[in-house]
Amino acid sequence: MLVRVITIEREFGCGAAGIAKLLADRLGWKLWDQLLTSEIAQLAQCDRAEVAQREERMDPLYYRLLKSFLRGSFEGSLNEYRLKLLDADTIFRLTKRIVNAAATEGNCVIVGRGSAFFLGNRPDAYHVFLYAPYEEKVRRLMQSGTDQEDASRLVGTVDRERADFIKKYFGKEWPCRRLYHLMINSRIGDEAVVQTILDGIATQQKTEVG
């Protein structure tokens, strides 16, 4: 089966955004990364920055309490639609819709957002997981303008939030090693990562034809 979709799951700070763009440019494919966030915001009729803050995360406690209150009272249920709450469930549903549509269209690279789990049964999808040593992730973040203290904190917290998100919505551990065709240490460099992915796809397709 010809690969028409590549998903890239990643540890925070490993450089996946730049690698995904490099890969999409090399293939001439559509990149669903920031575009995916923008599409969710448009469908949810809310600010893009608000979606970016909530993607791949569980709702904070105060938000869960507010939802519980609204859904538990008659007046609240009437007002919930007017408030247009952007909760994790809503983002999940919209993400699933967009990811599946993008995969159906094909020739695309999709970054994170549970895309590998949504598309796990598609024979034309190739799933990659990128990781890096702690020091490398901090270095990359600092290189992009994040100060060292924030970089260290984010490396330690964002992936835990992603793991909680995957556990709740897919019932899987993160990363789910059985799901990925390749797991690559991005410390080898962006160009090398892209070439490794392309070589992996070529090898798989050659094996299938053979």
Bridge-partner residues for 110, per DSSP?
Answer: 7, 32
What confidence score (pLDDT) does residue 87 get? 82
What confidence score (pLDDT) does residue 76 get? 43
What confidence score (pLDDT) does residue 74 get? 42
Summarised one tens digit per residue, pLDDT across range 43-102 is 988 889 888 888 888 765 444 554 555 455 444 444 444 445 678 888 999 999 999 999
What confidence score (pLDDT) does residue 210 get? 60
Summarised one tens digit per residue, pLDDT across range 129-171 is 999 999 999 999 999 999 999 999 999 899 999 999 999 999 9
What confidence score (pLDDT) does residue 60 get? 55
Calpha distance 190→91 (Å, rounded)? 30
- pTM over 0.75? The answer is yes
Specify the 3-state DSSP secondary structure of 108. strand
What confidence score (pLDDT) does residue 85 get? 61
Q: C-alpha 192: how far from its chain's center?
A: 21
Domain CATH code at residue 13: 3.40.50.300
What confidence score (pLDDT) does residue 71 get? 55
Residue 2, phi then psi, degrees to nearest 5: -70, 130
| Domain count for the chain | 1
**Domain that includes residue 135, residue range:** 5-209
Summarised one tens digit per residue, pLDDT across range 165-210 is 999 999 999 999 999 999 999 999 999 999 999 999 999 988 776 6
Number of Cβ within 10 Å of residue 178's Cβ equals 8
Q: What is the DSSP string of 178-209?
A: GG-SEEEEGGG-HHHHHHHHHHHHHHHHHHHH
